[in-house]
Chains A and B, each alone.
Chain A
Amino acid sequence: MITRHKPSLARALATLALAVAPCALVQAAVIPPGTVLSARQEMVRNNGSEPESLDPAYIESVPAGEIDRDLFEGLTSTDHHSNVVPGVAESWMQVDPTTWVFKLRKNATWSNGTPVTAEDFVYSWRRFLDPKTAAKIATTYAVYLANGMEVVNGKKPVTALGVRAIDAQTLEVRTAGPVPFLPAVVSVAQYGPQPKAVVEKFGKDWTKPGNIVSNGAYVLKDWQVNSKVVVEKNPGYWDAANVQLTRVTFLCVEDGNADLKLYQSGEEDYLYQLPPGSYNAIKAQYPKEVRIGPLLGLRFYALNNEDPLLKDLRVRKALSMVIDRNILSEKVTADGQAPLYGLAVKGLGSIQQTRYDWADWPMDKRVAEARKLLADAGVKPGTKLKFTYNNSDYHKKMAIFAASEWKTKLGLDTEMDSLEFKVLIRKRHDGDFQVARHGWVATFNDATLFLALIQCGSEVNDQRSCNRKADELIVQGNAATDPAKREALLTQAARIAMDDYPIIPLLQYSVPRLIKPWVGGYDEANGMDRYRSKDFYIIKH
């Protein structure tokens, strides 16, 4: 999943716990006392790519989600510290393990004046998960709601979905099994409300400027495909008093170097991501404007557990042991990514990181052990290994590094197969690979998202690995009501699963960016990398 989150450490665990009463969590831009704001509160921000849609039911990518979270506010939201904060719902309660009740605020309105009611959410969620809507990402989120999967698969009608409006301001949500992190789930853009009357009136064109009606901090002003999306402050928004930016322009530049040039010539205030390999040079050039922080994402290589060469655990272990992740992190990628020796990334909710015992051995010892494993498995030097990755300079570098490690340390010949992205994912899904490049980023902060990678039969388990004991522990963990117990069980599950070496974990993603010094509100510790425009403000400069 290429969605992005950053960890908010222990705070995330606390806020994702059971009954959450609304704390005095700040809703919008936290402006340090004494900051002088600029008279002109406008920002130009590169969003990384052209959104595939602005309809909450159809969005899949992170960039589209970022724009939609400005336009449509869901029951909950996440702020710039990636904390879950109240959105349209001002409070919520978990009345039993699988039932939650959300209380909506009375002053939440659409930009055309009509109030936002619980019925809006019922309509929107049903529409999102209705198979007739054909939302590709519906399955990912349906799994949390009661009857969600049945509805998506067409086995039950949409009215069976576990969401019900008790009255205009009260929404009852029933989940399929205990979902302790439900407030985080419903903060995603896909669970945002949709204006029924507008959708029905305009059909496919309802998201065009002029037709669209939104309930978020911003309204859509202009949308030029492949050029920019412009949003302006929504005066009717319930928290408008705390929204500083009056106008935000989202650019869709994909090329890192083009992005950098726009930043350097002053055409934008916020660079999406530094071009690969440039971090050190840019850090030297713009020391105060470079921001970097860990992302809740895992870079790894998927190993086809059913492949004749790789089905022996010893071979998989050997391949993983010899890769020097320190060099990978410091020299090859050189952009602040931390080496990983386990499934969980730092800051991921409800799980502790695990680490292989050999991670601290000197490399010579690791290589010797790996060679022994290969010999025991009957793999001779000169054996060919096929490595599949999608063409991009970044992945190419990492791939060449891995191939060189396997060659020099184990004598294996790696055949490099660089493919177009769509072809790569097809091959991965179909199991047509030996070693394939893969990456996984969290959409919201919970361990189950990563555990899905190694669960038996999971649709994102491309490597076809299976460890029944780990699966059992995951089920137990999700049923646990005590967060500490849950964490322990999930950690144990990850450890057991990873001892089978289904994948080769490499690095934790980082987000190196450039932000102009007059933009306030950015938090490098935001492991989810989701920012609402209402959290930013422009300092006088």
Chain B
Amino acid sequence: MSATLPVDAAPAGRSPWRDARVRFMRHRAAVASVFILALIALACVFGPMLLPNAFDSVDWNLMSAPPTRAGWHLFGTDELGRDLLVRTLIGGRISLLVGVLATLVSVTIGVVWGAVAGFAGGRVDSAMMRIVDMAYAVPYLLIAILVVTVFGRDILLVVAAIAAFSWLDMARVVRGQTLSIKSREFVEAARAIGVPTWRIIFQHVVPNLMGVVVIYTSIVVPGVILSESVLSFLGLGVQEPMTSWGVLIHDGAAVMGATPWMILFPAAALSITLYCANFIGDGLRDALDPKDR
């Protein structure tokens, strides 16, 4: 006769994603940032549809007007009498779109490039990094002019032109980290038991890179958005009457002394978005840190 001991249910497994979420929540600024960013994105997407003013309707009688409740000109008007609230929101669409797309493209290319180069070492590393060196030396402006003149103006081209130069830094950073990671014990161990290289790279090296990659991604984002404004200013990015935060800020900077609201609102929108991106980046890094148990 044997009394069966109660068998405890297997302890609930701790999913690493749940851990990550918990760690993320600990970073208060990051959590707040997620909400703020979501709010901004929603405003940019839906706001212009709900507001009465069009983003390109000029009003010669209301040029450079300060913010006022009348006519829903809550952010004032620009030098051509166009409503700045709507323009800031429409501009946000472009800036956010370019920011996200260009960042995604450049991060992907950069991580893959850097990880492969760092891990392969030797001649392959040398060759790949020399290509990066070469890409640095090419004048960005020249390529941008050429691309636009040959292929015409297109928002996707702007994304491509910006991404083409933003992946370089990421590749360097990732390669540096990879060099360090690949000489660690767990990688030696994996190699010793015969794990195929590609698996080592993607299952062992890359997760350990995530911290730096995430941080650097949130550094790339402002750079990308600002590059877009420089390109637009040179006539290579968004074309009038479409606008972006970068263009609005650039136009507003010129008249900062006399009509400060023209720069205040788009600059605030950009800064808040970028601060949020930064904090989210820091939070994600904390969350995805494989060593923080």
List A residues at the B interface (Cβ < 8 Å): 256-257, 275-278, 281, 327, 331-332, 390-391, 393, 396-397, 399-401, 404, 416-420, 423
Contacts and interface: CB of A to CB of B under 8 A. Distances in A.
Contact of B233 (A276, A278, A391): A391
A385 to B, nearest CB: 14
Contact of B240 (A256, A275, A396, A423): A396
B242 to A, nearest CB: 10
B80 interface: yes
Q: Counting chain A CB atoms within 10 Å of each CB, which of B60, B63, B235, B251 scores highest?
A: B235
Given A278-B258, A393-B254, A327 B60 contact: yes
A290 to B, nearest CB: 14
Contacts of A419: 235
A418 B239 contact: yes
Contact of A417 (B60, B239, B254): B239
A397 B79 contact: yes
Interface residues of B, number: 19
B240 A416 contact: yes
B145 A420 contact: yes
Contacts of B194: none
B254 A391 contact: no
B135 interface: no
Contacts of A399: 240
A192 to B, nearest CB: 36
Contacts of A400: 58, 80, 240-241
Classify the secondary structure of A's interface with B. Answer: helix
Interface of B: 58, 60, 63, 79-80, 145, 149, 233-235, 239-241, 251, 253-255, 257-258
Contacts of A391: 233-235
A277 B254 contact: yes
A225 B251 CA distance: 29
Nearest to B233: A391
Contacts of B149: 423
A277 B251 CA distance: 11
Nearest to A391: B235
A276 B79 CA distance: 11
A131 B241 CA distance: 46
Contacts of A393: 251, 254
A281 B257 contact: yes
15 contacts: A275-B254, A276-B254, A277-B254, A278-B258, A331-B60, A393-B254, A396-B240, A397-B79, A400-B80, A400-B241, A416-B239, A417-B239, A418-B235, A418-B239, A420-B235
Nearest to A330: B60
Contacts of B258: 278, 281
B255 A404 contact: no
Nearest to B59: A404
